[in-house]
């Protein structure tokens, strides 16, 4: 399947989540409760940090008046919103890793695959992998963004592409995290998961792009984007790996049963 087809399939899988989770008690409750607590924590920290930063800048640039003060305030606001947008993205991936690991396992089970019996060791393994992947991706994303910013400073005409390039980078690494949960359940190691992601960049970018755009939707996007991302990624992977049979099973509500599958890369 080509890049464009995988991209469209991954993006469209978000709309299939509603039907797939029908009858799944607690699916909508758990992410709302978790994200409400996360939002309070994040905005509490940012409000304190933003107030301290604003006070520091106002004192430092007190010699400025009029437009000068306005520019400083505007830059502070942009930085604040940037931290909120990108910070929420990765803080949620790290702190909500237990929820995502549990949901990924439930999706795997609802698709008809056998899953290991619950154990704290197994749960911790899924959580730790999700956290490590999120932290690693955060580091790599920051390096990529830094490279893009420096490049735009050197080749100034590219500056107009800065928002688009930044969005693509962020979408890629978010999609990577969403896809890796199913890869872990399929028995892929981190190295094998990297190969899988490289082989299915359309899937990864399609999932991550919708995830990032959904964060812009007030309240609903913030609360449900993360949980929908995990499920949508799994549904898209199921179709890509299973082809037409998987597509039909998702439509008629029946899912193939097996002992698990390892995706070919």
State the alpha helices, DSSP H only, in 111-254. 120-154, 162-185, 190-199, 201-214, 220-242, 244-252
| Rounded Cα–Cα distance for residues 81 and 86 (Å) | 9
DSSP state of 261: -
pLDDT above 50: residue 172: yes
More confident residue, 168 or 219: 168
pLDDT band at 195 (very low <50, low <70, confident <90, very high): very high
pLDDT band at 76 (very low <50, low <70, confident <90, very high): low
Mean pLDDT of the chain: 78
Comparing CA positions, the residue from 220, 99, 82, 92 lying closest to residue 163 is 82
Tokens encoding 124: 């911790």
Cβ–Cβ < 8 Å for 64, 27: no
Q: Which long-range contacts (CB under 8 A, 24 or more apart) does 169-173 make?
A: 169/141, 169/144, 169/145, 170/86, 170/89, 170/141, 170/208, 170/212, 171/205, 171/208, 171/209, 171/211, 171/212, 172/201, 172/204, 172/205, 172/208, 173/137, 173/138, 173/140, 173/141, 173/208
How much is the pLDDT for 10?
96
């Amino acid at each position: 399947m080509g890049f464009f087809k995988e991209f469209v399939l991954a993006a469209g899988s978000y709309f299939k989540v509603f039907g797939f989770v029908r009858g799944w008690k607690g699916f909508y409750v758990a992410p709302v409760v978790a994200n409400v607590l996360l939002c309070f924590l994040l905005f509490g920290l940012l409000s304190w940090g933003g107030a301290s930063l604003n006070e520091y800048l106002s004192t430092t640039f007190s010699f400025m008046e009029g437009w000068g003060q306005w520019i400083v305030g505007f830059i502070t606001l942009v930085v604040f919103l940037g931290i909120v947008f990108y910070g929420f993205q990765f803080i949620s991936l790290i702190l909500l890793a237990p929820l995502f690991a549990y949901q990924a396992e439930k999706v795997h089970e609802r698709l008809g695959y056998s899953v290991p019996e619950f154990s704290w060791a197994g749960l911790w393994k899924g959580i730790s992998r999700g956290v490590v992947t999120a932290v690693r991706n955060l580091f790599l994303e920051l390096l990529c963004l830094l490279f893009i910013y420096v490049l735009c400073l050197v080749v100034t005409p590219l500056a107009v592409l800065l928002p688009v390039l930044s969005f693509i980078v962020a979408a890629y690494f978010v999609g990577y995290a969403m896809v890796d949960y199913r890869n872990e359940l399929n028995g892929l190691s981190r190295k094998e998961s990297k190969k899988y992601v490289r082989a299915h960049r359309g899937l990864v970018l399609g999932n991550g792009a919708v995830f990032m755009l959904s964060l812009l939707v007030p309240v609903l996007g913030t609360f449900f984007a993360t949980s929908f991302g995990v499920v949508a990624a799994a549904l898209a992977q199921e179709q890509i790996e299973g082809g037409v049979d998987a597509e039909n099973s998702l439509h008629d509500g029946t899912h193939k049963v097996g002992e698990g599958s390892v995706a070919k890369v």
